[in-house]
């Protein structure tokens, strides 16, 4: 991210020493005014993006410090260290659309918060050793002002005066078969059976507000591509204190230029010349762990494609403390340059074993 055109503190209209709570309140106020779903301003979308950008920086302690010190949220080099996450997250505009659809008297279809999903890219080396990654995302989080109750004065919800707390009301309809009664969710409380007499003005009685989160994710040792980790309570906050959803993180382990992974085994080519394959040799291999080196003993007479297994030099096994194996695949890449005397010597050995020696090397060496 390059340096912004406008001062983020001016965008949100807060002091430079504003607390995180003050920053969040200012953002919510501005976003309510400028969100395209509710604003008639022709420039609302652009202004909302500007407000969202300011909040994404000032709500993140590390990025705010960089911005205050260098004028750039990503530091003097202009490169952020926030990990790349993709999939499962909507924009802050999407989060606000959900928020505007769920205010007082507009309860969502379910009160438990929804699960959210993210995918984190890791290298094979990070998968082998484990790592800590930091991700940022937007969600509907617990309202700090009412602590998730939805009530401005902290009072508990009261039974709905229309349905008596049942959450349902009876509707009588006249049909060709006569009068019929059916039960439907109560319009007054949207089926909850309770209402908040004095809704929190910050969250409009929901107990949750759009918020920007920054969390650390521990990459497990030995994690495989596509495995997931569930982080309880870090998904969407529930309605008026109901249970929050979870954040489900999927790990995408990138292909490695040196190793091919099969389960917990690691395969790699052992490149030899023809003489090394004929006579046998020891090949030094740089392992997947930091500063790890070991030797693979290649037997004499090895052929292209032969596999040599070295136990416990593969990937660490998740949760067991053990390791898979290393599998070296012989790759014969030509022959070394030989002098005439060396070629004649090899030809004599081949001739002794019935080899077909070219005419130029048919005579015994002098």
DSSP string, 55-71: HHHHTSHHHHHHHHHHS
Note every long-range contact of 222-228, with CB atoms under 8 Å and residues 24 or more positions apart, other chains counting.
222/127, 222/128, 222/264, 222/315, 222/316, 222/317, 222/318, 222/319, 223/122, 223/127, 223/251, 223/253, 223/318, 224/127, 224/251, 224/253, 224/318, 225/251, 225/252, 225/253, 226/250, 226/251, 226/252, 227/251
> What whole-number distance in Å separates Cα of residue 92 and Cα of residue 26?
15
**pTM score:** 0.74
C-alpha Rg value of the chain to the nearest Å: 33
Beta bridge partners of 218: 132
Beta bridge partners of 178: 175
pLDDT in tens, the chain (366 residues): 555 678 999 999 999 999 999 999 999 999 888 888 888 888 988 999 999 899 999 998 989 999 999 998 887 755 444 444 444 455 677 788 777 765 544 555 557 899 999 999 999 999 999 999 999 899 999 999 999 998 998 888 888 888 888 888 888 887 777 788 888 888 777 677 888 888 898 888 889 999 988 899 999 999 999 999 999 999 999 988 889 999 999 999 999 999 999 999 999 999 999 999 999 999 999 999 999 999 999 999 999 999 999 999 999 999 888 999 999 999 999 888 888 888 888 888 888 888 787 777 665 544
286 three-state secondary structure: strand
pLDDT of res. 209 = 92
In the chain, the domains with their CATH numbers are 8-246 (1.10.287.110), 260-335 (2.60.260.20)
> How are beta strands 281-286 and 228-231 bridged, if at all?
unpaired
Tokens of 305: 């494609």
Tokens of 289: 């762990």
- CB-facing half-sphere around the CA of 260: CA atoms within 13 A: 7
Q: Using alpha carbons only, what angle is made at residue 207 by residues 201 and 212, rounded to the nearest 5 degrees? A: 95
Compute φ and ψ for 200, nearest 5 degrees: -65, 125
Note whether 67 and 18 are within 8 A (CB). no
10 three-state secondary structure: helix
> What whole-number distance in Å separates Cα of residue 93 and Cα of residue 105?
22
The rounded Cα 10 to chain-centroid distance in angstroms is 32
Residue 33: how many CB atoms within 10 A of its CB?
14
Give residue for tokens 């070296």.
328
């Amino acid at each position: 991210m390059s340096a912004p055109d406008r001062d983020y503190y001016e965008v949100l209209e807060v002091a430079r020493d504003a607390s995180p709570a003050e920053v969040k309140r200012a953002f919510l106020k501005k976003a309510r005014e400028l969100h395209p779903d509710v604003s008639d301003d022709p420039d609302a979308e652009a202004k909302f993006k500007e407000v969202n950008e300011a909040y994404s920086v000032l709500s993140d302690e590390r990025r705010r410090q960089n911005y205050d010190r260098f004028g750039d949220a990503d530091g003097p080099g202009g490169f952020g260290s926030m990990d790349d996450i993709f999939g499962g997250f909507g924009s802050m505009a999407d989060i606000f659309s959900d928020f505007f659809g769920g205010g007082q008297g507009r309860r969502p279809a379910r009160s438990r918060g929804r699960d959210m999903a993210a995918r984190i890219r890791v290298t094979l080396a990070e998968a082998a050793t484990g790592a800590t990654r930091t991700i940022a995302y937007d969600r509907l989080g617990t309202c700090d002002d009412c602590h998730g109750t939805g009530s401005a004065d902290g009072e508990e919800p009261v039974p709905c005066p229309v349905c008596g707390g049942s959450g349902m009301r009876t509707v009588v309809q006249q049909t060709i078969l006569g009068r019929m009664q059916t039960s439907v969710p109560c319009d007054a409380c949207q089926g909850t059976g309770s209402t908040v007499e004095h809704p929190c003005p910050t969250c409009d009685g929901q107990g949750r507000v759009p918020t920007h989160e920054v969390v650390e994710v521990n990459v497990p040792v030995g994690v495989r591509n596509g495995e997931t980790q569930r982080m309880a309570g870090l998904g969407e906050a529930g309605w008026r204190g109901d249970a929050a959803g979870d954040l489900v993180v999927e790990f995408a382990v990138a292909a490695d230029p040196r190793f091919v992974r099969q389960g917990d085994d690691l395969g790699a080519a052992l490149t030899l010349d023809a003489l090394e394959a004929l006579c046998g040799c020891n090949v030094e291999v740089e392992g997947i762990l930091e500063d790890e080196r070991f030797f693979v003993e290649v037997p004499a007479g090895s052929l292209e494609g032969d596999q040599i297994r070295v136990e416990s030099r593969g990937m660490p096994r998740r949760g067991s403390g053990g390791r898979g194996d290393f599998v070296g695949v012989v790759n014969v890449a030509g022959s070394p340059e030989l002098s005439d005397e060396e070629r004649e010597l090899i030809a004599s050995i081949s001739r002794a074993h019935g080899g077909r020696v070219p005419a130029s090397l048919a005579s015994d060496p002098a």
